[in-house]
């Protein structure tokens, strides 16, 4: 079984964290195995879809983490703020060591400009016993208030956690200036019925609430101290939990251990995946759940195994996702799924000699403004069309001290300048993170795509206040929602404040500036 690095880290921690945190080396060895794996496909097996040569692109290393400013940004995708900068987290590094890990620091939140200037905003375990959280392992999301929201796997004030003194995770809010507020600590209910170990980013739904998953805990405790939950959190910090507890059905037919976040479909329901459960082989599931907690299991995976990442609904209405294992090459897949759960197409990784097309994807895809999808495997960045024709864009070194980075385990984010930004788990210029594993990098991938605007949130009723993010927005002369003009205020070069106008319908948001006409990267849904 090929386990995703993110999930394998949890499994390692869960089996070894009886009294103290396990050695970080176990985590490294797991990802090493993923990075070095090579498929043994028979030569007569043919790809259903062919990977093609890479188009012109440029990859630039922007930042090398050095331990003091963070290290090992595993499971972390970047997010753009209202100021045009990118925000993210590292699972290790920073100024505090109260988490008793064999690596300096308990994780950080950082800001990085598109030019590569990094600022550490917060170092976790600043409070006694890490009540402020420890080891963020998922990316941040931007709230409608301009603040960022995220989770940590450990730390917090939960008292029923099976790991005494370590805590079982938190949900937090942090301002762009670095002021952190803990909104919720998991395992405050007996037997961690409220969940533990969140390992995925939150999702801001159209109802104004945040939704997320925990990998463990929940009301069902048939094994592993719970099989994971789905929860709802109000902006004020009130948690509805569990909105759903996995393994509520016989043989965990409904799934177990979600390691990925949720996404809201155009029908208003939430969609996601579980890494395990679903059938006797426990290969994972795909599901939808209403905002009131009614879950429908769509797929019990067999060919596509162990989805470690969430889904994305594309402009064509289909959902696209990745599995960390399975496929003809037994090294993961990209799959295309209808809203009723029918798999329409699959691309199998590791069908080329030496797996030059990649292996073991563990991060969600992002649809670019060109209509194609972009993602990462344990060693590559790829582009894949809606018809699942794959192009390898960049191959990283397998040398974990390579200055250009190694193991791009996380997803990409397309900023409003048109470029893609991401992180590598290891590599970079500094080896202050111990052994032969450098501390990781932030990089920029330029594909020649032009700038665009991004509405936050990307849905709302008439009269809803919306922020439009972009670049060079000063002097904007008009804003429209699917052709309906809106009143607006230019707040800065990177944001516009507006409201959904009367008569607006679902469609593209357009901003006209003196130099360009910019369209939104997503369809704005008028509710």
Residue 65 and residue 37 in one domain: yes
Q: How many domains in the chain?
A: 2
Cα distance between residue 260 and residue 198, in whole Å:
9
Residue 334 and residue 475 in one domain: no
- Closest Cα partner for 294 from 310, 266, 270, 277? 270
Cα of 391 vs its chain's centroid, Å:
22
**Domain end (from 415, 430, 446):** 446
| Residues 425-475: tens digit of each pLDDT | 999 998 888 778 899 999 999 999 999 999 999 999 999 999 999 999 999
Average pLDDT, the chain: 87
- Looking up tokens 């043919």 gives 46
Determine the average pLDDT of the residues in 146-165: 85
Least confident piece of the model among 85-99, 113-127, 157-171, 414-428 = 157-171
Residue 259 and residue 391 in one domain: yes
Burial of 132 (0-12, 13-18, 19+ CB in 10 A): buried
Residue 328 and residue 465 in one domain: no
Cα distance between residue 237 and residue 225, in whole Å:
25
Q: Which residue has the higher pLDDT, 241 or 488?
A: 488
- Closest Cα partner for 272 from 347, 366, 185, 364? 364
**Domain end (from 446, 474, 492):** 446
Residue 187 and residue 316 in one domain: yes
Collapsing DSSP states into helix, strand and coil, what is residue 31?
Answer: helix
Residue 463 tokens, joined: 């009269």
| Residues 49-100: tens digit of each pLDDT | 334 445 679 999 999 999 999 999 987 789 999 999 999 999 999 999 878 6
The H-assigned helical ranges of 135-285 are none
Cα distance between residue 197 and residue 213, in whole Å:
9
Inter-residue contact 87 to 98 (CB < 8 Å): no
For residue 467, the domain's CATH number is: 2.60.40.10
Residue 524 tokens, joined: 């704005």
Percent of the chain residues past pLDDT 70, beyond the cut: 87
Residue 415 and residue 478 in one domain: no
What pTM value is reported for the model? 0.91
Residue 424 and residue 458 in one domain: no
| Residue 434 domain boundaries | 5-446
**Where are any strands of DSSP class E within 328-385?**
333-337, 343-348, 366-367, 373-376, 380-384
- Closest Cα partner for 235 from 355, 161, 143, 302? 143
Is residue 26 over pLDDT 60?
no
For the chain, the maximum distance between any two Cα atoms, rounded to a whole number of angstroms, is 62
Residue 438 and residue 484 in one domain: no
| Sheet of strand 79-80, all strands in order from the earlier edge strand to the far edge | 79-80, 86-90, 108-112, 118-123
Cα distance between residue 378 and residue 375, in whole Å:
10
* pLDDT band per the 50, 70, 90 thresholds, residue 151: very high
Residue 173 and residue 273 in one domain: yes
Rounded to 5°, the CA angle 95-98-104 comes to 50
Residue 219 tokens, joined: 């009301």
- Closest Cα partner for 37 from 245, 332, 302, 367? 332
Residue 126 and residue 218 in one domain: yes
Inter-residue contact 320 to 359 (CB < 8 Å): no
Residue 347 and residue 214 in one domain: yes
Is residue 33 over pLDDT 60?
no
Residue 21 and residue 61 in one domain: yes
Q: How far is CA 2 from CA 164, 274, 307, 336, 401, in A?
A: 31, 15, 11, 21, 24
**Domain end (from 446, 479, 507):** 446
Which residues are paired to 102 by β-bridges?
A: none
Quote the pLDDT of residue 11: 35
Quote the pLDDT of residue 7: 32
CA 393, 398, 404, 406 torsion-angle sign: positive
């Amino acid at each position: 079984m090929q386990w995703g690095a993110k999930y394998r880290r949890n499994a390692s921690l869960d089996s070894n964290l009886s009294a103290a945190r396990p050695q970080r080396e176990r985590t490294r060895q797991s990802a090493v195995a993923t990075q070095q794996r090579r498929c043994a496909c028979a030569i007569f097996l043919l790809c259903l879809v062919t990977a093609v040569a890479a188009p012109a692109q440029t990859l630039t290393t922007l930042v090398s983490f050095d331990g003091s400013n963070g290290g090992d940004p595993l499971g972390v995708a970047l997010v753009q703020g209202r100021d045009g900068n990118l925000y993210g987290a590292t699972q290790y590094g920073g100024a505090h060591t109260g988490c008793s890990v064999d690596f300096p620091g308990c994780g950080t939140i950082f800001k990085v400009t598109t030019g590569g200037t990094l600022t550490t905003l917060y170092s976790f375990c600043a409070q006694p016993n890490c009540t402020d959280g420890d080891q963020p392992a998922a990316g941040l999301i931007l709230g409608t208030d301009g603040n960022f929201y995220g989770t940590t796997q450990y730390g917090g004030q939960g008292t029923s956690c099976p790991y005494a003194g370590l805590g079982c995770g938190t949900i937090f809010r942090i301002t762009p200036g670095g002021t952190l507020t803990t909104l919720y600590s998991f395992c405050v209910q007996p037997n961690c019925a409220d969940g533990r170990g969140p390992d995925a980013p939150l999702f801001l739904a159209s109802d104004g609430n945040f939704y997320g998953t925990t990998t463990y805990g929940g009301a069902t405790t048939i094994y592993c101290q719970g099989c994971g939950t789905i929860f709802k959190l109000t902006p004020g910090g009130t948690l509805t939990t569990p909105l759903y507890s996995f393994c509520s059905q016989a043989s965990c037919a409904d799934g177990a251990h979600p390691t990925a976040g949720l996404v809201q479909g155009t029908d208003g329901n939430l969609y996601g995946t579980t890494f395990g459960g679903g059938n006797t082989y426990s290969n994972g599931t795909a599901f939808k759940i209403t905002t009131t907690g009614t879950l429908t299991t769509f797929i019990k995976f067999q060919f596509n195994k162990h989805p470690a990442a969430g889904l994305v609904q594309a402009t064509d209405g289909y959902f696209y996702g990745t599995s960390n294992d399975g496929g003809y090459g037994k090294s993961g897949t990209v799959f295309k799924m209808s809203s009723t759960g029918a798999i329409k197409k699959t691309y199998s990784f590791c069908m080329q000699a030496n797996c030059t097309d990649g292996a073991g994807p563990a991060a969600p895809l992002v649809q670019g403004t060109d209509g194609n999808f972009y993602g990462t495997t344990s060693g590559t960045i790829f582009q894949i069309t809606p018809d699942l024709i794959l192009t390898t864009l960049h191959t990283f070194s397998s040398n974990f001290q390579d200055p250009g980075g190694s193991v791009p385990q996380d997803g990409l984010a397309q900023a409003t300048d048109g470029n893609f930004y991401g992180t590598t788990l290891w590599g970079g210029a500094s080896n202050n993170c111990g052994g032969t594993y450098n501390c990781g990098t932030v990089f920029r991938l330029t594909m020649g795509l032009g700038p665009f605007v991004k509405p936050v949130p990307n849905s709302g009723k008439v009269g809803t206040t919306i922020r439009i993010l972009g670049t060079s927005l000063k002097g904007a002369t008009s804003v429209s929602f699917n052709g309906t003009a809106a009143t607006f205020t230019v707040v800065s070069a990177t944001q516009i404040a507006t409201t959904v106008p009367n008569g607006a319908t679902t469609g593209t948001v357009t901003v006209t500036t003196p130099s360009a006409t910019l369209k939104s990267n997503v369809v704005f849904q008028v509710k």
